Structure 1
């Protein structure tokens, strides 16, 4: 089947010419057989050469935004990858951009590698990984892979010093049309002018295509790793007006109706068992920026109140915001199509493993930064700064509760698509096995036939928490985890089997049976205090262990955190 990309190419002709150079256990729900052996040979049986690896990340995209996950946004390229690959229904991220990227690229929980907050240690967004925690690119490059990156980074150090042969880094997260801070291979690039036609999502894909074209010409005998990180649909909500117009009428029904429509489709598709929970009408953004509401005006809404209670101006404003979000996802899908089309031109698509996910759930944040917000400018243009907000974020995260930064299901659940024609024998199936971003690292190593040493850079490596999910590429394979652990900004959770213990910052523990209640509406903590105590003890024990991991290579007196957290 040919991959054809319809839509826009937002670059100058000159740029285009450059780009086109050459305790309980989590069981697999889909099988009754014994667990397949997790050895490199099981991955390589389907191919005589190591597969190429492509990891694609969306930014702040909700669980149900894609068409193949129940959404109404047009995403034909990702839908096709899902139809010819696998869709995972219970994949977890780490609730925020930089922690999630650390989990994917190191195979450890972000606190273990100082990429989320650890008390008494420089950590979080300013944290530097221990010497024993290489990035996936550094390992693959040592084993013959060429490595390419394009898009968002949000990891310590720089990609060109971390195993990547080429990298386009978009460090400006406040501008989709005219970034002021972007680099290629460490060289600063100029800010695109008003007539250059630059749009970040398309440019990120074009740089990836450029690197792949060079690979096909100069390094065809080598396998490659492409780490493709879109900034879409992260705020600011900005997109070409003609694409926004395609979606504006679709969202006039409001967020309550969209949530219910998506919930119904998710059930019909067999992706989940629960209907959407009621929107939490008293829960607003995770950070308070009161000045933003003065700038944005009375049409902005701080809470997901019922749609029929909004004023006509509020309905129009909110409708347009979701139309912009949809346009951003739509264009990202086209950008994915550009990359897949290039893989097909290179005749490598069949032996390329493509992973697609979102770094966290949709965002309830509302703020104004960058170049500010001009209320007179067309919404979604470069002169506006808009955020999705809690109403539409609740709809985007259907059928789950809460948003990015929280560790309730809405904040940590992501669509997860794996596509590999030559190696997946169960194409088109769902996988209900719970998995986590920490599983990507060991999965890729198994696919590449690589065994990690016990030491790296002279430092002993802790036992990694992830598992290879390669056995799930077959019809009867299984993967088991003892637990999944979460902590971000005081929001904490642990899942063991179908039990999940979760608490927002400063709140008491809540207990849910996710097999019956993944919407997290029936809190069983008061009825089952023994289970709460058991899971709390496990969470605390692991937290102590992960803090020790973060400090094991540091001097006796650790440095303190030096930078405050930032929203977004």
Structure 2
């Protein structure tokens, strides 16, 4: 094939003792699958073609055609918590990698994992795998000190090109290409020197995260594609989702009063008269605003297009190694598309070509709403738009199903235990709780498999709990959580309740009709909060 371009008791505070057990005989590399985990940053649920998008993603589409697409797979609503959950199998709050009401100040983006929260690379390396990381890290510690044999963190500047402040800028450098280049170099080295071992490659693209930077030739392919606006785009994507067989019967209503999660009015002034921080009806925008917004979406699309081409190059390398059939590949996004608008890094030059290194642009709430079709809200919120990710799984040797949907409810915490299961690695821990994630292996052979009875969510004051098809959700629109004033007492939280079996777009609040269900679920949310806090404070 050629590519086109509940948690248990209190445990002692002693050091972690981990025993990785696998077959006593020395297995050949071909006896165990390789693993390639690919994650995008701020990519919306509907951005890929195989999830209803118009963006050219032939390589992701081909992976989906040869494998599975999940419709109810979740993340943590933010980049660093999702990455920590992915590599460990725990909710980030369990391992101090996201905030938690009542938690000490050393929780969150700068929190340090407990010693017992090892990475998937730690386990795989101990079991004889070679382990590689390329791209964004955003997890505490250095990759090579946490199980990875090789790592290249693509952080040459705040944007996707080398920083404009650098005297010796490389005019050929573009981060997405570099991320793929290093991953391919690792695979080539593996084929040449470690072909007797299986591998684990973690490729973490930063695209299409802001700033919106793309190559001119990529932007040109989408330059005039979005001039009809976000209202039309959402309807077009929703129609394609229905044609694809994706369970997308509902389409969320636009929320014109919901803007970026953080207010930066001075930054918006820097961006000029074309910027708008609310998803107003497209025909209410001025011609200048319409042109500016459509150009930003074109850059967003160009960034995803280039990422897909880069994924194709990595798959070409797997084919060249004759390892495609025996490599378990999964693709996801770390959170929904972003409504944020800000200026950072090297700043923004309004006279420079949009998408160039001299500019600093963000997608904003209008086209973010379209990217997250058919759901509500965006990154940082725990409504479906913030936490629903595309999830593609491809493994010809191990998964017979081709081009099938899976409605099984899964979460990014499931990736580590799934990989360990497929690698036949059993982890015994004398310290710390068992992983909260569960293996998704049963869902690979049939749909409707129940992996989780419940899933818990929290980020910056926003809260949710899903039990079966019922979901309670609270949005902290006061921004209190973002100011670090989360309180342990949640009595003033007003929950909404949705039946996701009929209302995945969260349009019909049933809290008044089901007050006892809301009360029981809210109590359970807080019980898990207390449990996670207790676990996280163990050494």
Q: Could you state the TM-score of these two structures normalised by the residue count of structure 2? A: 0.91
Alignment check: 8 A CA contact 2:163 2:346 kept: no
Report the equivalent of 1:453.
428
Decide which of 441, 448, 459 is 1:488's aligned counterpart: 459
Tell me the equivalent position of 2:449. Answer: 478
Structure 1, unmatched stretches of 5+, are 6-22, 24-38, 42-46, 182-190, 554-568
CA distance in 1, matches of 2:364, 2:321: 41
Offset at 1:249? 1.2
Residue of structure 1 in register with 2:487 after alignment: none
Spell out, residue by residue over 1:436-475, the C-alpha distance to the aligned partner (whole angstroms, 9 max, x if none).
01111110001111001122xxxx1213221101112213
Q: Which of 70, 91, 115 in structure 2 is aligned with 1:131?
A: 115
| Cα displacement string for residues 246-291 of structure 1 (whole angstroms, at most 9, x for unaligned residues) | 1121101100000011111112212123332111000100001111
Q: Which 4+ residue blocks in structure 1 deviate beyond 3 angstroms? A: 191-196
Tell me the residue number matched to 2:486.
none
Q: Which residue number in structure 1 is paired with residue 14 of structure 2?
A: none
Give the match's secondary structure for 2:131: strand
Q: 1:104 aligns with which of 86, 89, 96?
A: 86
Cα deviation, 1:121-141, whole Å, max 9, x if unaligned, reads 511110000011101111110
Distance 1:192 1:477 in 2: 56
| 1:511 corresponds to | 497
Q: Distance in 2 between matches of 1:40 and 1:62?
A: 38
Partner Cα separation in structure 1 for residue 225 and residue 313 of structure 2: 26
Report if the CA contact (8 A) 1:40-1:447 is conserved.
Answer: no
Residues in 2 aligned to 1:504 and 1:520: alpha-carbon distance in whole angstroms: 13
Equivalences for residues 439-450 of structure 1 within 5 A = 439-450=414-425
Q: Does 1:150 align with 2:134?
A: yes
Residue correspondence of structure 1 range 97-496 to structure 2 within 5 A: 97-118=79-100, 119-171=103-155, 174-179=158-163, 193-194=168-169, 196-455=171-430, 460-475=431-446, 478-496=449-467
Instruction: Check conservation: 1:289, 1:367, Cα contact below 8 A.
Output: yes
Deviations 1:313-350 (A, max 9, x none): 00100010000000000000000001000000000010
Distance 2:156 2:170 in 1: 19
For residues 476 and 307 of structure 1, do their structure 2 counterparts lie closer, same or farther at Cα, with a shift above 3 Å needed? closer
Kindly state the Cα deviation for residue 145 of structure 1 after the two structures are TM-superposed: 0.4
State the distance in 2 between where 1:273 and 1:379 align: 34
Q: Is the 8 A contact 1:264 1:275 kept in 2?
A: no
Single out whichever of 382-391 and 468-477 deviates more from structure 2: 468-477
How far residue 294 of structure 1 moved from its aligned partner, in angstroms, is 1.1
Shift of 1:176: 0.6
C-alpha distance in structure 2 between counterparts of 1:308 and 1:213, whole Å:
52
Query: Offset of 1:195 from its aligned partner?
Result: 5.1
The answer on whether the counterparts of 1:96 and 1:359 sit within 8 Å (CA) in structure 2 is: yes
Contact 1:300 1:317 in 2 (8 A): yes
Using the TM superposition, give the Cα deviation of residue 526 of structure 1 relative to its aligned residue in structure 2, in angstroms: 1.1
Equivalent-residue separation in structure 2 for 1:285 and 1:198 (angstroms):
30
- Distance apart, 1:3 and its partner CA: 2.0
Q: Is the 8 A contact 1:377 1:383 kept in 2?
A: yes
Q: Which moved more, 1:316-325 or 1:242-251?
A: 242-251
Q: Equivalents in 2 of 1:473, 1:408: separation in Å?
A: 27
Instruction: Report the 3-state secondary structure (helix = DSSP H, G, I; strand = E; otherwise coil) of the residue aligned with 2:138.
Output: coil
State the shift of 1:48 in Å: 6.2
For the 8 Å contact 2:163–2:169, the answer to whether it is kept is no
Q: For residues 128 and 467 of structure 2, what CA distance do their matches in structure 1 show?
A: 38
Alignment-derived partner of residue 2 in structure 1: 2
Query: What is the aligned partner in structure 2 of residue 498 from structure 1?
Result: 469
Paired with 1:136 and 1:195, the residues of 2 have a C-alpha distance of 34
- Structure 1 distance, partners of 2:254, 2:532, is 34
Cα distance in 1, alignment partners of residues 176 and 424 from structure 2: 33
Q: How many residues align?
A: 504
Between 1:462-471 and 1:192-201, the stretch displaced more is 192-201
- Correspondence for 2:520 among 517, 534, 538: 534
Note the residue ranges of structure 2 that are not aligned, 5 or more in a row.
Answer: 7-20, 24-28, 479-492
Residues 187, 317 of structure 2: 8 Å contact kept: yes
Secondary structure at the counterpart of residue 329 of structure 2: strand
Q: Does 1:75 align with 2:57?
A: yes
- Determine the structure 2 residue equivalent to 1:64: 46
Tell me whether 119-128 or 337-346 shows the greater mean CA deviation. Answer: 119-128
Task: After TM superposition, give the deviation of residue 143 of structure 1 in Å.
Answer: 0.4
Which has the higher mean CA deviation after the structures are superposed, 118-127 or 544-553? 118-127
TM-score by length of 1: 0.86
3-state SS of the aligned residue for 1:247?
Answer: coil
| CA distance in structure 1 between the aligned counterparts of 2:154 and 2:519, rounded to whole angstroms | 45
Maintained 8 Å contact 1:50/1:448:
yes
Equivalent residues of 2:330, 2:393 under 8 A apart: yes
| 2:33–2:198 contact (8 Å) kept in structure 1 | yes
Cα offsets for 1:327-381 (capped at 9, x unmatched): 0000000000010000000000100000100000000000001010000000000
* Contact map agreement 2:36 2:329 (CA 8 A) in 1: yes
CA distance in 1, matches of 2:95, 2:168: 39
